């Protein structure tokens, strides 16, 4: 059984971007990597082997992304101190329900900690499901970052559209005004930012 794309655990792939808009209120500086830490997760006094990774976004944003991500294949339950993700699957072990424990911690950045509930997992299949847990947390991180980049692309595309309309309106009167030149410079800068973000998304899609 496969969850999503397989990402090598020992491989670290970093994509960095620092974009400063022509508008002072907007900036983004986020790093994506596939670095995982093997770390046990304690749930109601029981320790479960799991994985932890860091995201450059606050817990509220990551939590929303987690809900959107898991709703397509499982059920995410808020259990106050932690989350429980239930995933129904059918394979050689028959019809079973995988249960994963998740914890989010941090303030400006978020540590996502995920571990497999091994209580009902056959010993012979344990390593397989542990590997799928690893793949799942990395796949979530990849898709989460892709989505965050897309939000910025949408915002900047909307800005570019408004500036284009304004520039066309001004250029009909005179193409060589200071305001027209300033708008054109801002428009070109925004388009460069969009292209950089799209390149990051393309790298995340491979």
Give the model's pLDDT for residue 92: 76
Question: 113-172, pLDDT tens digit by residue?
Answer: 999 999 988 888 899 999 999 999 999 999 999 999 999 999 999 999 999 998 888 888
Query: According to the model, what pLDDT value does residue 175 have?
Result: 60
* Strand ranges (E), 150-206: none
- Give the max Cα distance, the chain: 76
Predicted pLDDT at 89: 87
pLDDT at 179: 86
- Helix (H) / strand (E) containing 70: helix 59-70
Across 37-45, average pLDDT: 95
Nearest to 186 by CA among 152, 150, 160, 151: 160
Using CA atoms, how far residue 39 sits from 21, 99, 134, 204, in Å, is 38, 18, 12, 25
Position 30 scores a pLDDT of 66
Whether 16 has a pLDDT exceeding 50, the answer reads no
Instruction: Output DSSP code: residue 3.
Output: -
Phi/psi zone of residue 45: left (φ > 0), alpha (ψ -120 to 50 degrees), beta?
left
- Structure pTM? 0.80
Phi, psi (deg, nearest 5) at residue 54: -110, 140
The pLDDT assigned to 19 comes to 38
């Amino acid at each position: 059984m496969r969850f999503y794309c397989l990402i090598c655990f020992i491989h670290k792939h970093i994509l960095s971007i620092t974009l400063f808009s022509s508008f002072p209120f907007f900036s983004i500086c986020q790093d994506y990597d596939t670095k995982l830490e093997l770390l046990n997760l304690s749930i109601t006094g029981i320790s479960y082997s799991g994985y932890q990774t860091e995201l450059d976004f606050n817990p509220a944003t990551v939590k929303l992304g987690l809900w959107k991500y898991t709703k397509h294949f499982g059920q995410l339950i808020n259990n106050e101190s932690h989350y429980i993700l239930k995933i129904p699957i059918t394979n050689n072990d028959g019809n079973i329900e995988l249960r994963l424990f998740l914890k989010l911690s941090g303030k400006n950045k978020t540590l996502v900690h995920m571990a497999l509930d091994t209580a009902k997992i056959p010993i012979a299949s344990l390593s397989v499901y542990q590997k799928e847990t690893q793949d799942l947390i990395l796949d979530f991180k990849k898709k989460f970052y892709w989505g965050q980049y897309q939000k910025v692309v949408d915002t900047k595309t909307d800005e570019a559209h408004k500036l284009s309309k304004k520039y066309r309106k001004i250029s009909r009167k005179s193409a060589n005004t200071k305001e027209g030149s300033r708008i054109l410079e801002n428009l070109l800068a925004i388009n460069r930012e969009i292209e950089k973000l799209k390149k990051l998304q393309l790298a995340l899609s491979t």
